[in-house]
Amino acid sequence: MSDQTDERPALPTGTATRTGTGTSTSPGTATSPGTAADTRPGPGTSTSPGTATGTRTGPGTAAGTWTGTGTSAGTSTASGPGSRTGTGTSTVSGPGSRTGPGTSTGPGPGTWTGAMSAGPGPGTVTGIRTGPGRGTGPGTATGTRTGTGTSAGTSTVSGPGSRTGPGTSTGPGPGTWTGAAMSTGPGPGTSTGPGAAPATRTPAPAPAHRAWPVPLVAPRPLAEARLWPRSFADRLTTPLPGLRQYARLAREGAFRPDTEGLRGIPDLPYEPGPLPPPRAGTVGVTWAGHASWVLRLGGLTVLTDPVWSRRIIATPARMTPVGVRWQDLPPVDAVVISHNHYDHLDAPTLRRLPRHTALFVPAGLGRWCRRRGFTRVTELDWWEAAELDGVRFDFVPAHHWSKRSLFDTCRSLWGGWVLTDTRDAARKKVYFAGDTGYGHWFGEIGRRHPGIDLALLPIGAYAPRWWLHDVHADPEEAVQACLDLGAHRMAPMHWATFVLSAEPVMEPLLRVRAAWDRAGLPRETLWDLPIGASRTL
């Protein structure tokens, strides 16, 4: 079993190193008390005639200039107070600072849009690079950073590769970045500039480029008998809440929307219609409600987290009916389960299925399914895959957890699924996120599975934020996750069905539409379907 965890090696204190065959010249220094490290491994690492110079000073300061025509590939990290890693949100404090994801997208020229602020105080530059693709092709992306004596002039990124790491600091005069794909390795992005530029990145390092795609693993046998560890708690992105958090939740009573928030129930979109007919080379999706979808691809009918019950444990009855009547379903070929929470793994619904139905489940959940008579249960770990009749099922990580009783916390794994029609020349892909918070895994999923055609992403059950931030993405985070994935389209889910949290019931839809518009993304690529509605690729 592969044990993919989100652990990072400890970084040395007061050092700045660069591995490979390139040269590192003065004034490359690192001074205490800051911690700064810069490691760039990977194919074609630090090849001459590339030159690396820079200075790292102060608490958590990461600064330096990387120039030359060589390739500087791999992971660049600077750790410590105000450290900078990954390609998430960056903040550079000081005159003319810049915040925002800095996503570089599109195979052609991209433009940096957003407000720019100059002046001696902390200003901000925000923006997103938009376009039909994500960080591929020979396009050029340019942007200007202004400020009093800091990062003035034009910053240009050119070459056949892509640029990662949104926050760049290139000194008091004009600076140009040239060469073949500077800093496009499989790790996080870059922090540059000849002066001190402390920066922090939140919420997580996530590579947004497409350099060096990871070869997919060979499919594992179907219904393979496997042994798993007793616990998957080491896969948690953040610690689970403790007694103090539970006490606060009980004290505040923020379990459900208030009366005003429930007034929107009659407005929840519900428009059931016929299922799209299966056609070669197409993918049909129908939203049955919550995280339940009817997917038709590669000649198969696949259900995701099927919940056809009117009520689940410890939750009020459904606000909207199921979008597809059970008797209207075609024969179900396969079911994918994201994790074992009751709103995603519904025993009464699974009992309606023939026991020979193929089930694809997270590691550790197979025993639960086999005890209920299912004979074709395939358990997978993160980054593993199996294949059924030309459709590939890849199990990918999520920022979540598992629990079904008092004594089985994290005894089974959790995650999402990438379904690929391998018989189609276009190899259409659908990503089903299941239940997840926002974090670094989205960028890694997009790197390993480039060209996702449709991302089914959760947008609800997020309030109060202090309680649910780690495990449930909010609408704005879902849009950012779609960008991190490099997905061409997004279909929202995990809202309008069960009352699981405190936000007003119509708020997720309104917020995701506003976030999509702010990101400058084409409206037709947001598939905000009513429950029961369908769309076809």
Candidate ranges 34-48, 122-136, 195-209, 227-241; pick with highest mean pLDDT: 227-241
Mean pLDDT within 385-397: 98
pLDDT value of position 266: 96
Amino acid (1-letter code) at residue 307: V
pLDDT number for residue 424: 86
Contacts of 415 (CB under 8 A, 6+ apart): 338, 339, 362, 382, 395, 396, 397, 398, 400, 434
Q: What angle do CA 155, 159, 160 make, to 5 degrees?
A: 140
CA torsion sign for 485, 489, 493, 495 is positive
Choose among 451, 431, 504, 508: nearest CA to 477: 508
Res. 434: pLDDT tops 90 = yes
Range 233-246 average pLDDT: 94
- Sequence ranges of the chain with CATH classification 3.60.15.10: 256-536
Residue 376 burial (CB count, 10 A):
16
pLDDT at 410: 97
- The structure tokens 């570089």 sit at 104
Q: Strand 384-388 to strand 358-362: parallel, antiparallel, or no bridges (unpaired)?
A: unpaired
In the chain, % helix, strand, coil (3-state, to 5) comes to: 15, 20, 65
Rounded to whole angstroms, the Cα distance separating 104 from 138 reads: 12
Q: What is the pLDDT of residue 213?
A: 61
Beta-sheet strand order (sheet of 334-336) = 377-380, 358-362, 334-336, 300-304, 292-297, 283-289, 534-536
User: What is the average per-residue pLDDT within 152-175?
Assistant: 35
pLDDT, position 26: 34
Pairing of strands 358-362, 377-380: parallel
Q: Using one digit for the tens of pLDDT, what is the confidence trace for 444-476?
A: 999 999 999 999 999 999 999 999 999 999 999
Tens of pLDDT along 311-346? 999 889 999 999 999 999 999 999 999 999 999 999
**CA–CA separation, 490 and 478 (whole Å):** 9
3-state secondary structure 243-280: HHHHHHHHHHCCCCCCHHHHCCHHHCCECCCCCCCCCC
Half-sphere CA count of 511, side-chain side, radius 13 A: 19
State the Cα–Cα distance between residues 75 and 213, nearest whole angstrom: 15
- Considering the chain, what is the average pLDDT of its residues? 72
The answer to whether the predicted template modeling score (pTM) of the entire model surpasses 0.85 is no
pLDDT score of 407 more than 50? yes
Q: Which two tokens stand for residue 55?
A: 């200075």
Q: How many helices (H) and strands (E) does the chain have?
A: 8, 22
State the pLDDT confidence band at 215, using cuts at 50, 70 and 90: confident
Strand spans (E) along 95-134:
99-100, 110-111
User: 256-536 belongs to which CATH class?
Assistant: alpha beta
pLDDT at 425 (0 to 100): 83
Confidence at residue 315, expressed as pLDDT on a 0 to 100 scale: 86
- For 236, the token pair is 């948690």
pLDDT at 136 over 90: no
CB atoms closer than 10 angstroms to residue 230: 8
Which of 115-129, 262-276, 281-295 is the least confident region? 115-129
Mean pLDDT is lowest, of 107-111, 255-259, 302-306, 484-488, for: 107-111
